[in-house]
Amino acid sequence: MNSPSSSDEDPQQASVPLVGPLSSELAAKLASSMGLLPQEYLAITDRLQRQPSHCELAIFAGMWSEHCSYKSTRHLLAQLPKEGARVLAGPGSHAGVVDVGEGWAVAFKIESHNHPSAVEPYQGAATGVGGILRDIIAQGARPCAIMDFLCFGDPDSADTQRIAHGVIAGIGGYGNAVGVPNVGGRTQFDPAYEGNPLVNALAAGLVRPDEQRHARASREGSLLLLVGAATGRDGVLGAAFASEALGDASSHAKRRSHIQIGDPFSGKLLQEAILSFGPAQGLLATQDLGACGIACASFEMAALGAVGLDLWLDEVPLREPDLTPLEVLLSETQERFAIVIDEAFRERAVMHFQQAGLTAAVIGAVQQTGHVRIYSRGECIADLPAQLVAGGAPRSEWTAAAALPAQTARAASTFDNKSPIEVLLSLLTQCSDAEPIYSQYDQTVGNKTICGPGQAAAAVIRLPDSKRGFALTLCGRGDLCASDPFLGAQSAVAEVLRRMGCVGAELVAVTDGLNFASPRDPVQYLRIERVISGIASALRTLGVPVTGGNVSLYNESPHGAIPPTPMIGGLGIAADVRLCPRAVAQQGQRLYVLGTLRDHPCASLYSQPSEAASVVPDVDLDAERRLYHLLHSAIAERLLSATKPVSRGGLLTTLARLCIRSQCGAELTLPSHHRTRWLLFGEYAAQVIVSVDSPQQAERLSVLAEQQQIALTPLGIMTGTTLHLAQVLSVDVRELRAASRLRSAQRDAESAVRS
Amino acid sequence: MTTLFPHRESSAQVSAAVIVFPGSNGDHDLLQALTLCGFSARFLDAEQEIPIDVSLVGLPGGFSYGDYWRAGVLASRSRAVRSLAAFLQRGGLVIGICNGFQILVESGHLPGALTYNHPPRFVHRWVKLRVTEESARSPWFSSLPSGTELRFPIAHAEGSYRYADSSSGIRPAIPLLYEDNPNGSMSDAAAVLDDSGRILGIMPHPERACDLMLGSQDGLRLFQAAQRYLVRRPIQ
């Protein structure tokens, strides 16, 4: 497969002087060795009307990398709906911001840290959390919730155990220390992610709508202040590394220098120092430092403000001596911010950050030139138009295949000869209880967690001193997208809506974390197109905007390419968090399933390999919307005690998980169907299990269901210690619990220690 | 109009200070809980001495100074913690929660030591606790008879309580037990009192259990008892 040329140090590269004219032949060669495509190099020389220097080429290589420029996908992302009445900041901001009422707004965004987590799992995951928190802080918001979506390989492989162990410890190690609660997430084990785990983190924070920050540099003469940790050599060229396929485990050693190191203590100090430094202290613009470090921050701030910047690299506080100017420019040392301040506030600003235990130095000044000029040791080593570097990357035009190849059978065990109990236990093992993982995360610090991990269909956070709150959920299924990328992506959006309905929250915006393989492969590129158009069409149908997100490409390892895996993070508003039903039913309550029972073969954990070519995910957005409205009315009338959306493993698996969590059995009957197995284990659209206290409430629920034309089927009653489904199975809840306990890699991850 | 003695104006309210160490993250939650229970509560920088008007000092949860070394050890040398001895002589109450408990142990205000959980991992969980008879003489437990059950969350990696298990029979006063020991603490100890009963170190988080919406309001009973005690017996 065509993989971008490696960013490994070219022996020639080191010997080429940073400054000064290059021969066109050497410049082209250098550009290619840095990962720039021939047409990109041509665009550079064309727009500059001269040969770029070595240093300038390195800046382009970083800023025009896939990671920083979205050059392969931004034209596809353009089709996503972005407008919404409550949207205060959309794509292009540090994080999306949505008005949630009572004078509060929520900033939220998802980000991936897949490649670093494959190489150095603890630091990869920890800095992933640190990075997304800084995005929220840069928007002026105080972080109040983290979610994580993790996809690991074969749970029995040693590499998966290494990765899962480190990633889970890293997420906890950073989030616990900075004191932001982890309120939910997903962990999936599937051999399709062997060698290339997906580690995506979502963060949300609270901000007053009129106290948002932005990154637009302005006012000639104002100063660029670099604050936070001193700059070291860590993470140099991380952006380029994240923009190519992963090698095997043995190649990881030489990738370690591309990995950033997280320091949650500095992160916490920086958070407090940044959030307490506002316009009254002379603040004009804020930018967190991530990919491509100082280079990216300065070019982006200048481009956004349509101004120029002079940058003095000798002023950057260093952690170690002898960094080359390029290393200073491109280092991805964590826990740093760049802020633009009014020059009259210089002394007080520097003192503010130094008193917080952080380094702070003026490293530049705003100019009206529109150019960023970079000086090192008295010499100008780069002079480039800000808007060309930040945002000028030519779109990468990849070819999409005409059609997706016929499905190759997934190497799943066949369920043909197994009894319903055996199928159920096997499916429970596949979607095992993640409690041993999330119990390693602080879930309640901050006193806002109404529903944390596993407690309800979505996480629910309250606003300060209020009964009003917001809900967060994170949904996505690589396995469904592998069978049909368009419908698989739609089903992820549908599940977000269903989960919001289950906690009585109004879905107001989503953030999308898109994880794909190489766009250079026509089949993969077609999958990317289909997933994004699936998300766009579902969101348009439901009238929900995207306020930002992340695209991670080149998720490939020698084990193969990952299935396209969109992760849709939904934000909902809960008018009264006291009404939110939990995912726990009580003894004596009646169970119902809302939504039409179906039995046609569809893509599911239960999908038979022989049928894989013909089955697709079941999606019915119209029914989802009616179900969502029904749930809202029923919750407002306090009719529902527990709600549990039917998802992985289908109806019976969901019922079994409800019994496990409720520590109670159930006596159930289902109307007979043609294909009972599919009825029980197929994953169909728009189904939710609910528990109801009294016959009067059930009667009222059936009236509401009829109004929304949603089928209501009585299932039975919560009772005893056995899950009994008439004429199908009878199994002790303790046995179900044992099956849902974790397998080897998960068990190993369970013992992860904060290191 | 400003006054030279602002604390005297609010003499109906008992003053509390929450020490903020670099890396504290439970400071806001503790301040909120104290305020809810009628205290006039404020933050105090770890490099300041405890002011004379303060009657209750709270050491919050978090990762003071990053806790990259033994948890709480650096914070135990801070100026605020060094001024605790003088504060205690004036008759005040002290509560150290989670990292605050670790700091009180490291500074020698409480006996024993806190070390890595068994099993060795960070653990967050809602736990059931039971009040013991050893709480009887402590102002913190004046409204909590022995046998009372409480429900608080725990969130820590180094919360396994140890003490010198001598044959002398002397052991620390343990006012609160875990019903299902989550971290390997000796004697299922979830909290420890000093000899006077005025210093409470507690691993679970009462300040996160002050609102039924969040899962429990059992924490109010500790802070309210402290508040009533201090109203009756103002410090000198």
Taking contacts as CB-CB distances below 8 angstroms, the residues of chain B near A450 are: 213-214
B210 has catalytic annotation: no
| Mean pLDDT confidence for B13-21 | 96
Cβ separation A754–B122 shorter than 8 A: yes
A405 DSSP 8-state letter? P
**What is the rounded distance in angstroms from the CA atom of residue A169 to the CA atom of residue A262?**
13
Hey, of B27, B63, B211, which one would you mutate to test binding to chain A, going by the most A CBs within 10 A of its CB? B63
User: Does position B105 have pLDDT exceeding 50, yes or no?
Assistant: yes
Q: Which of B213, B220, B223 to mutate: most A Cβ within 10 Å?
A: B213
What pLDDT, on a 0 to 100 scale, did the predictor assign at position A407? 65
Residues of B with CB under 8 A from a CB of A: 22-23, 25-26, 28-29, 32, 61-63, 65-68, 116, 119-125, 153, 155, 157, 205, 207-208, 210-211, 213-215
Q: How far apart are CA B13 and CA A229, in angstroms?
A: 42
Q: What share of chain A has pLDDT > 90, as a percent? A: 82
**Distance (Å) from the C-alpha of residue A18 to the closest C-alpha of chain B?**
39
The span from the CA of A247 to the CA of A8, in Å, is 12
Q: What pLDDT sits at residue A8? A: 43
Of residues A458, A478, A498, A483, the one with CA closest to residue A621? A498
Query: What is residue A195's predicted lDDT score, i.e. its pLDDT?
Result: 94
pLDDT in tens, A556-591: 999 999 999 999 999 999 999 999 999 999 999 999
Selecting from B123, B155, B213 the residue whose C-beta is nearest the C-beta of A450 gives B213
Q: What is the pLDDT of residues A203-239, one digit of tens each?
A: 999 999 999 999 999 999 999 999 999 999 877 766 6
Mean pLDDT of A436-445: 96
Task: Please compute the mean of the pLDDT values over residues A340-359 and round it to a whole number.
Answer: 97
Q: Is A181 helix (H, G, I), strand (E, B) or coil?
A: coil
What's residue B13's pLDDT? 87
In which band, very low, low, confident or very high, does the pLDDT at A674 lie, cut at 50, 70 and 90? confident
DSSP H or E stretch at residue A366 = strand A359-367
* Residue A502 confidence (pLDDT): 98
Q: B37 in the Ramachandran plot: left (φ > 0), alpha (ψ -120 to 50) or beta?
A: alpha
Is B28 a catalytic site residue?
no
Enter the pTM of the model.
0.94
Tens digit of pLDDT for each residue in B134-182?
Answer: 999 899 999 999 999 999 999 999 999 999 876 666 789 999 999 999 9
- Tokens found for residue A465: 């001193």
B37, B98, B106, B134: the active-site residue: B98
Is the separation of the CB atoms in A365 and A330 below 8 Å? no
pLDDT for residue B166? 66
Rounded to an integer, the average pLDDT of A250-268 is 79
Residue B3's pLDDT band (boundaries 50, 70, 90)? very low
How would DSSP label each residue in A484-504?
A: -HHHHHHHHHHHHHHHHHHTT
* Helix (H) or strand (E) run with residue A225 in it: strand A223-228
Q: What is the mean pLDDT of residues A192-212?
A: 97
Nearest chain A CA: its distance from B120 CA (Å): 6
Give the pLDDT band of residue A593 (cuts 50, 70, 90): very high
Four-point Cα dihedral A474, A462, A663, A667, nearest 10: -80
Beta strand ranges found along chain B (DSSP E): 15-20, 40-45, 56-59, 93-97, 113-115, 123-131, 149-156, 160-162, 173-178, 189-193, 199-202
Please tell me the distance from the alpha carbon of residue A699 to that of residue A697, in angstroms, as a whole number: 5
- Other Cβ atoms less than 10 A from the Cβ of A275: the count is 17
Contacts of A439 in chain B (CB under 8 A): 123-125
Which of B26, B121, B205 is closest, CB to CB, to A440? B121
Average pLDDT over residues A395-409: 83
d(CA A129, CA A264): 10
Determine which of A62-71, A84-93, A237-246, A532-541 has the lowest per-residue pLDDT on average.
Answer: A237-246
In the numeric block, which tokens belong to residue A755?
């290191």
Q: How many CB pairs under 8 A join A and B?
A: 93
Residues 6+ apart with CB under 8 A from A467: A576, A577, A578, B213
Q: For residue B167, what pLDDT is reported?
A: 67
Nearest to B213 among A176, A444, A578 (CB): A578
pLDDT tier at A245, thresholds 50, 70, 90: confident
Whether the CA torsion A452, A456, A462, A465 is positive or negative: it is negative
Dihedral class, residue A560 (left if φ above 0, else alpha if ψ from -120 to 50, else beta) = left
pLDDT in tens, A171-182: 999 999 999 999
Alpha-carbon distance of A64 to A392, in angstroms, equals: 8
Give the mean pLDDT of A436-453.
96
Nearest chain A CA: its distance from B169 CA (Å)? 34
The pLDDT value recorded for residue A233 is: 85
Give yes or no for a contact between A112 and A135, defined as CB atoms under 8 angstroms apart. no
Amino acid at B200: L
Helix, strand, coil in percent for chain A, rounding step 5: 40, 25, 40
Among residues B106, B134, B158, B207, the one annotated as catalytic is B207
A408 pLDDT higher than 60: no
Tell me if residue A67 falls in helix, strand or coil: helix
Higher pLDDT, A671 or B57: B57
Q: Find how far residue A431's CA is from the centre of its chain.
A: 20
Whole-angstrom distance, CA of residue A468 vs CA of residue A471: 10
Residue A595: which region, alpha, beta or left (left: phi > 0; alpha: psi -120 to 50)? Answer: left
Q: What is the pLDDT of residue A14?
A: 62
Question: What is the distance between the alpha carbons of residues A277 and A228, in angstroms, rounded to a whole number?
Answer: 13
**Nearest CA-CA distance, residue B137 and chain A, Å:** 30
Q: Which of A637-651, A737-751, B77-91, B172-186 has the lowest mean pLDDT?
A: A737-751
Q: Let me know the angle formed at the C-alpha of A98 by A92 and A100, rounded to the nearest 5 degrees.
A: 170
pLDDT in tens, A710-746: 999 999 999 999 999 999 999 999 999 999 986 644 5
Q: What's A708's DSSP letter?
A: T
Please give the C-alpha separations between residue B231 and each of A69, B11, B197, B222, B226, in angstroms, as whole numbers.
63, 10, 17, 15, 9
Average pLDDT over residues B204-232: 96
pLDDT at A610: 52
* A675-693 tens-digit pLDDT: 899 999 999 999 999 999 9
pLDDT at B5 (0 to 100): 42
Structure tokens at A599: 């039995």
- Collect all residues of chain B within an 8 Å Cβ-Cβ radius of residue A268: 22-23, 25, 63
Taking CA–CA distances from B33, the nearest residue in chain A reads: A447
Tell me which chain A residues have a C-beta less than 8 angstroms from the C-beta of B180: none
Interior angle at CA A32, CA A26 and CA A37, nearest 5: 130
List of chain A residues whose C-beta atoms are within 8 Å of the C-beta of residue B62 = 179
How do residues A691-712 score in pLDDT, each as one tens digit?
Answer: 999 999 999 999 999 999 999 9
pLDDT tens digits, A265-320: 999 999 999 999 999 999 999 999 988 999 999 999 999 999 999 999 999 999 98
- What's the pLDDT score for residue B124? 97
With contacts defined as CB-CB under 8 Å, which chain B residues touch A444?
Answer: 124, 153, 155, 205, 208, 214-215
Name which of A227, A214, A219, A215 is nearest A342 in CA terms: A219
Which is catalytic among the residues A113, A115, A214, A258? A113
